[in-house]
């Protein structure tokens, strides 16, 4: 790969590795019994599209530590996208989200094959849970079979356990915080563990560990990665409510209808007076969050300037991230790529 960062070219390379690997695994799975074909199809659907940010951070964790471009490293980086695919399937299942990237989520799509069975909805949810489990297993398999030396893989393997533990902790915290009183610090903790760490920090650190990065460089990676990962999810929360569903591929009402503990909702509550809090409670308390209620909540948020507050939080975190990056002693190509990734991760519309 040329030294100039080429995001589209990188995505194409990752897509090639992912689609080949998952297609082979899906064929093996479906070969067990023809009934498994719809489940195997969801494996392919889960990796069909994506920004490939996690793979990119893993790749540049390797390159920033002084290692050259490597096909084996690319396969190891692609495994980060399978972790993400597994997390998305499980997250959509937990949230009962109907859409992802404009398509039915796994637990909705899998209603078809079981529609004539007893408790069809529960059966479809069970199948989706197993799709997520299978994707996580495949992530570990692709990482281990990447072709990198065993000694390199052994350096990074312990972080896989940390990544899984912290990702699951974040999901659990979101469930436990849902419906509780809005609290910005608690929401930021959910963001940190559910998204920030496995999106930016852990892929970057895994790439660094594979490359043999020392403790000082890894500390610098974390200083860059954690605020950036939080900014990424804060942008996601804004897009979830104020974005165009044609671009985001998700319904605007999802987060509010489930009363998920987003920082946007917490900041709205913090900025609101008693009358505005009563209004917010009344709108959120409706059995169905219709277009009128959704517009009312958005109008209240805008009037209180809660979205502006979230934008300020994003900007501050991006600044801290880039300041930490520029303190690192890494090749100019890595600095340029990681700067570009920070911008694209936090200035997006989908």
Give the pLDDT confidence of 109-128 residue by residue, as tens digits: 999 999 988 899 999 999 99
Mean pLDDT over residues 287-311, rounded? 91
Residue span of the structural domain in which 157 resides: 149-350
- 28-43 in b/e form (b: 16+ CB < 10 A) is ebbeeeeeeebbbbbb
Is 59 within the bounds of a domain? no
Is 320 within the bounds of a domain? yes
List the one residue out of 291, 82, 81, 263 whose CA is nearest residue 185: 263
Q: Are residues 168 and 109 in the same domain?
A: no
* pLDDT exceeds 90 at position 157: yes
Is 63 within the bounds of a domain? no
Is 125 within the bounds of a domain? yes
pLDDT tens, 186-231? 999 999 999 999 999 999 999 999 999 999 999 999 999 999 999 9
Q: Are residues 92 and 169 in the same domain?
A: no
Mean pLDDT over residues 141-163, rounded? 96
* pLDDT exceeds 70 at position 1: no
Show which of 147, 164, 183 is a domain's final residue.
Answer: 147
Q: Are residues 123 and 221 in the same domain?
A: no
Q: Are residues 110 and 32 in the same domain?
A: yes
CATH number at residue 330: 1.10.600.10
Q: How far apart (Å, rounded) are the C-alpha atoms in residues 190 and 176?
A: 10
Q: What is the mean pLDDT of the chain?
A: 94
pLDDT tens, 73-104? 999 999 999 999 999 999 999 988 888 888 89
Percent above pLDDT 70 for the chain: 99
Collapsing DSSP to helix, strand or coil, 17 comes out as: helix
Show which of 147, 166, 199 is a domain's final residue.
Answer: 147
Is 58 within the bounds of a domain? no
Is 61 within the bounds of a domain? no
Please tell me the least confidently modeled range out of 150-164, 257-271, 307-321, 329-343. Answer: 257-271
Mean pLDDT over residues 154-176, rounded? 95
Q: Are residues 14 and 161 in the same domain?
A: no
Q: Are residues 124 and 233 in the same domain?
A: no
Q: Are residues 37 and 121 in the same domain?
A: yes
Is 57 within the bounds of a domain? no
List the one residue out of 138, 140, 107 whose CA is nearest residue 124: 107
Answer for the pair 33, 26: CB distance below 8 angstroms, yes or no: no
pLDDT tens, 10-49? 999 999 999 999 999 999 999 999 999 999 999 999 999 9
pLDDT of residue 60: 98
pLDDT interval class at 291 (50, 70, 90): confident
Q: Are residues 187 and 301 in the same domain?
A: yes
Q: Are residues 192 and 135 in the same domain?
A: no
Q: Are residues 216 and 156 in the same domain?
A: yes
- Taking phi first (over 0 means left), then psi (-120 to 50 degrees means alpha), and beta for anything else, what does residue 183 get? beta
Number of domains in the chain: 2
Is 224 within the bounds of a domain? yes
Show which of 112, 147, 182 is a domain's final residue.
Answer: 147
pLDDT tens, 233-260? 999 999 989 988 888 777 777 778 778 8
Q: Are residues 173 and 101 in the same domain?
A: no
- Helices and strands (DSSP H and E) totals, the chain: 17, 2
* pLDDT exceeds 60 at position 315: yes
Q: Are residues 198 and 244 in the same domain?
A: yes
Answer for the pair 277, 269: CB distance below 8 angstroms, yes or no: yes
């Amino acid at each position: 790969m040329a030294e100039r960062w080429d995001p589209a070219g990188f995505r194409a390379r990752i897509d090639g590795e992912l689609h080949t690997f998952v297609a082979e695994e899906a064929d093996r799975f479906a070969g067990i019994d023809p009934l498994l074909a719809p489940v195997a199809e969801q494996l392919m659907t889960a990796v069909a599209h994506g920004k490939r940010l996690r793979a990119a951070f893993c790749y540049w964790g390797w390159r920033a530590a002084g290692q050259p471009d490597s096909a084996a490293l690319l396969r190891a980086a692609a495994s980060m996208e399978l972790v993400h695919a597994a997390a998305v399937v499980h997250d959509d299942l937990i949230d009962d989200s109907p859409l992802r990237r404009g398509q039915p989520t796994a637990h909705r799509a899998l209603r078809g094959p079981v529609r004539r069975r007893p408790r069809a909805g529960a059966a479809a949810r069970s199948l989706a849970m197993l799709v997520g489990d299978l994707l996580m297993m495949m992530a570990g398999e692709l990482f281990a079979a990447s072709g990198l030396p065993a000694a390199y893989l052994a350096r990074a393997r312990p972080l896989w356990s940390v990544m899984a533990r912290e990702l699951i902790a974040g999901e659990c915290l979101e469930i436990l915080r849902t419906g509780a009183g809005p609290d910005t610090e608690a929401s930021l903790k959910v963001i940190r563990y559910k998204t920030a760490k496995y999106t930016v920090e852990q892929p970057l650190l895994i790439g660094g560990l594979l490359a043999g990065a020392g403790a000082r460089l890894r500390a610098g990676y974390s200083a860059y990665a954690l605020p950036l990962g939080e900014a990424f999810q804060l942008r996601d929360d804004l897009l979830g409510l104020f974005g165009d569903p044609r671009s985001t591929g998700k319904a605007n009402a999802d987060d509010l209808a489930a009363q998920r503990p987003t920082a946007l909702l917490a900041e709205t509550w913090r900025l609101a007076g008693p009358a505005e809090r009563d209004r917010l409670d009344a709108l959120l308390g409706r059995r169905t969050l219709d277009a009128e209620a959704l517009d009312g909540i958005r109008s209240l948020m805008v009037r209180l300037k809660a979205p502006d507050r979230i934008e300020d939080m994003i900007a501050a975190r991006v600044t801290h991230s880039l300041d930490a990056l520029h303190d690192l002693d890494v090749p100019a190509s890595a600095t340029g790529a990681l700067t570009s990734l920070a911008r694209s991760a936090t200035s997006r519309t989908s």
